[in-house]
Every structure is written in C-alpha cells, then in structure tokens.
Amino acid sequence: MFITLEGGEGAGKSTQAALLADALCARGLPVLRTREPGGAPGAELLRGLLLGGTTDWSQRAETLLHFAARAEHVEKTIRPALAAGMWVVCDRFYDSTLAYQGYGQGADRDFIQALIGLVGLTPDLTIVLDVPDAVGASRLRGRGGAADRYERLDTAFHARVNAGFRAIAAAAPERCVLLTAEPGIEAVHASIMTAVARGSRTG
C-alpha cells in the first residue's frame, strides 16, 4: 500500500509517519518511510531550493519545482519500493502542492490538477491531519529549529492551507480520511491504524 500523510504545519505528519511505519514494521511488513519535498538525492537538492533561501519564485516555477522533485522521488524511490512489495509511508505528497501553492499561494489550481494527473501514481490512502490553525502554530513553536520558507509565511496563509486540505479531503472521500489531530499523539496514531486497517481491506 502507498499511504500519504498530509496536513498543515504542526499537524503531526512527521510524528505520525514514524509511528505508522514502526507499527507496520512491528507486524513484519516491509516498510519504506519517505518524505516530500525530497526522498531521492536529486529531489533533496530541490528541497533545499524550495524550503531554504529567499528566492521569490514565480508561481508556475515553484509548482513545477515541486513536481520535478516528485517525479524524481516517484521514479527513483516510491515505484521501486512498491514494485518490491513494500508498504510506502510518505510524509506529504501531491495534495501538499495543491494546498500550499494552490490554496495558500493562489497558484492556478487547474494547472496543479493537470500535473497531478501526470504523476501517474495515486496514493491508496491519504490521511489528512487537521488541527485548528492556532494549535498547529503553537506546536511549531514548541518544536523549535529554524523556520523554512513556508513556515515563515503569515497566519492567513496557513489558514488558507488548512482550509485547502479540508477541501481536498472532502473532494476525494474514496482516498482521503480527514482526522482531527488535536487529541494526543497515541490517540491520533490509533485513529490512523483504524483507517489503514479499513483501507487495506477495501483497497
């Protein structure tokens, strides 16, 4: 199965991706945990360009850089793992481009949807973690470390991203499960395991 975790800053994606991968491993399943932007050497170089620096990219260029990184990630990392029978747990995937560049930055959503159609790979299950805007912001502060290019954007941007993720989940109920990520880490993990069990029976 190819499972993606999505949501705004501080929703708990990275925390939950690690817990999910560990839980699957504990069941003896072969698991690859990966992330975007990045997940392959060339894609990690593009991650540096996208998350670091101060370049004011044109919207289409920024969108295409995310999809360039994704093309590399899919071809070099995700497809080979799936072909080898592994479970792939990915921290962010194409929904993040729609939420951040489309809903957040106002890039042309039809342009992004067309590129999504060209990726040629759809997650079997997408967990969308939803937290109130203020909760995500406060978790981010608690996590510490230097803020990246997107984390530095204002609260209105992050509110648009969070609303975008809710719209994305509502538009694709056969693939997406929207979970409130406000309860504690273990409670959210349990909800994710339930969603995965349900998804792997029907998928």
Ligand X SMILES: Nc1ncnc2c1ncn2[C@@H]1O[C@H](COP(=O)(O)OP(=O)(O)O)[C@@H](O)[C@H]1O
Q: Which residues bind ligand X (CB under 6 A)?
A: 7, 9-15, 139, 142-143, 181, 184-185, 188
Give least dist CB 150 to ligand X, A: 10
In 3D space, the residue among 49, 126, 143 whose CA is nearest the CA of residue 88 turns out to be 126
3-class secondary structure, 180:
strand
The owner of tokens 């990219």 is: 57
Name the residues that contact Mg ion, by CB under 5 A.
13-14
Burial class (CB in 10 A: 0-12, 13-18, 19+), 28: exposed
Structure tokens at 38: 């990045």
Give least dist CB 100 to ligand X, A: 12
Cα gap 72→38, rounded to integer Å: 9
The listed partner (Mg ion, ligand X, none) that binds 30, CB under 5 to 8 Å by sort, is none
Cα gap 98→117, rounded to integer Å: 12
* Residue closer to Mg ion, measured from CB, 13 or 66: 13
The listed partner (ligand X, Mg ion, none) that binds 139, CB under 5 to 8 Å by sort, is ligand X
3-class secondary structure, 5:
strand
Give least dist CB 9 to ligand X, A: 5
Residue with the shortest CB distance to ligand X: 12
Structure tokens at 125: 């299950």
Give least dist CB 11 to ligand X, A: 4
